[in-house]
Amino acid sequence: MSDTDARAVPAPAGGSGALSHRQIVTILSGLMLGMLLAALDQTIVSAAMRTIADQLHGQSAQAWATTAYLITSTISTPLYGKLSDIYGRRPFYLASISIFLVGSALCGVANSMYELAAFRAVQGLGAGGLFSLAIAIMGDIIPPRERGRYQGYFMAVFGSASVLGPVVGGFFAGLDTFLGFAGWRWVFLINLPIGVVALIVVTKVLKLPHNRVNHRVDYLGALALTVGLVPLLIVAEQGREWGWTSGNSIAMYVVGVVGLALFVLAERRMGDEAVLPLRLFRSPVFSLGNILNFIVGMGMFGGLLSLPLYLQIVKGTSPTESGLLMVPLTLGIMLATGISGTMISRTGRYKVFPIIGAGAMTVSLLLFSRIGVDTPLWEPCLTMVLMGAGLGLCMQTLVMAVQNDVAPKDMGVATASATFFRQTGGTVGAAVFMSILFGVVGDRIADAFREAAQSASFKAALADPAVLGNPANQPVLQMLKGQQTGGGPSLDDTSFLANLDPRLARPFLEGFSSSMDTVFLAGAIVTAVAFVLNFFLKEVPLPSKSNLERVSEERDAMPTIGH
């Protein structure tokens, strides 16, 4: 144990390693500030990205800003986990906050979309540790049976971010300037004051004992993982634009597979010192738990990506309004997490919750697959509560199952692996579901136009002088005149729908709605697989002692060497 960390934490009564409720809440206050940074950044940026891309003249390149952040945050997650197991959580949590702030400051002064993508990559390097290390520290200080009591604190962070993010992002995106900077730049600069407070609080309160373990750092494994995942994540984001069988995509596949093969060889060579030790996968609970994390992450994005698009394109809400309409989903997550956490603390049983959660996600996605243009908003909002409840029952419980299956020395790498597999699943899900959406939407819109052509209202619109004389309608009228239903306005920019005559816009809305229904149905199939697999997840009894207590007991049980 390092002398610094040993002095930092007052010895608990009896030397048991247990922390009081007050000590735990004090530490959690620092962790929540760090998590708020990442959670708030995601919702603020997503609400303002369209305006940012307009300001930087880079609508066609905006995907790279998301891809860069996703790649670096995914790759760095297992590295934070392993390094924190060796050297302690505190220095790496402080480092992750600091790197995130540097990235935020750079994003705030970006002058092109490609610069912004590069700086978002720096942000992602910090974000990779904000979530995984916070949950790992929670695993260190709180007994598994008691973690449910404290999960509500973290859910409050995500709930606040889901409400504040769209409002703050929309507010700054709508300002020309604020305190001498363009309004959109404050989408990133707002992180600086929050981050400084987080650094101060974490420095003061996050002082835990740590048993230093002298290991080699698996640099080769980290490099191979990067070579393996970066091309696959890039093709997942860009494959739809490039073409899944294009030369670029095939090159990415080949490099990615070679990188992953090298990663497995490197991890075998490093053994226990590997960044992701292969021995952990010999446990059925660890392996199946992370497979479920991957599938849940994939299915989750089937709903979370399509819902805002449905609200904004089909229902015509603004980004801010659609963000606020997603609050019922967050409410469902918070309620389900709180209730399941309390019940786990009382009973010590947890297997039933991811089963119910995956079932709830499947049912909610099936319900979403039936919504249309005329569906009242209260219906999808009510279904969001069920979807959120399913996510709340799955996410934290599956992380806890993986954490509970490893020794205290592997807590960081186990927690990071759960986050890593869920993020990777989400990336794959985003690529697959967006490919489905844009792969069918053109034909669905064409079908909707053919059906609309038989209706009296549509025929009346084509004969209406006001419609014919409105320049906003001309691209669609020219498309219909030439009988080129596959042409017309570009679907990469749907803002034209706002000014289009409602009778002419209706087939576009129906085509998008029908395509999104297909995406929701595909997501339901994915989560149904998770529902079945959850029955095979072995339930390991939850200890009533935290990792700190278990490490303290193991240390005390070691034979004393005579002087």
Tell me if residue 177 falls in helix, strand or coil.
strand
Residue 557 lies in a domain: no
**156 plus 178 within the same structural domain:** yes
pLDDT of amino acid 20:
73
**285 plus 239 within the same structural domain:** no
**235 plus 290 within the same structural domain:** no
Count of domains for the chain: 3
Is the distance from CB of 254 to CB of 263 less than 8 angstroms? no
DSSP annotation of 311 reads: I
Residue 89 lies in a domain: yes
- Which of 239, 274, 309 corresponds to the end of one domain? 274
**110 plus 210 within the same structural domain:** yes
Residue 489 lies in a domain: no
Is the distance from CB of 361 to CB of 299 less than 8 angstroms? yes
Q: What string of DSSP letters covers 239-265?
A: HHHH-TTSHHHHHHHHHHHHHHHHHHH
**226 plus 287 within the same structural domain:** no
**For the domain that residue 425 is a member of, what is the CATH number?**
1.20.1250.20
For residue 303, the Cα-to-chain-centroid distance in whole angstroms is 12
Residue 123 lies in a domain: yes
**9 plus 107 within the same structural domain:** yes
Q: Is the full-model pTM beyond 0.85?
A: no
Give CA–CA dist 388/402, Å, rounded.
Answer: 21
Residue 84 lies in a domain: yes
Residue 400 lies in a domain: yes
**Cα-based torsion angle of the residue sequence 138, 127, 33, 168 in order, rounded to the nearest 10 degrees:** -140
Over the chain (563 residues), what is each successive 10-residue block's mean pLDDT?
A: 38 53 81 83 75 69 74 85 84 93 93 88 90 84 75 71 76 80 87 90 78 69 86 77 85 92 89 83 91 89 77 82 81 85 84 95 94 92 93 87 83 83 82 81 88 86 82 81 59 74 88 92 94 92 68 60 47
Residue 362 lies in a domain: yes
**438 plus 388 within the same structural domain:** yes
pLDDT of amino acid 14:
43
Residue 553 lies in a domain: no
Domain interval for residue 267? 219-274
Any bridge partners for residue 178, and if so which? Answer: 181
Q: What string of DSSP letters covers 84-128?
A: HHHH-HHHHHHHHHHHHHHHHHHHTT--SHHHHHHHHHHHHHHHH
- Which of 238, 253, 274 corresponds to the end of one domain? 274
Give CA–CA dist 298/505, Å, rounded.
Answer: 32
Amino acid 231 reads P
**444 plus 393 within the same structural domain:** yes
Tokens 């260190």 label which residue? 140
**194 plus 266 within the same structural domain:** no
E strands, 122-261, in order: 177-178, 181-182
**354 plus 250 within the same structural domain:** no
**345 plus 360 within the same structural domain:** yes
**32 plus 83 within the same structural domain:** yes
pLDDT of amino acid 100:
94
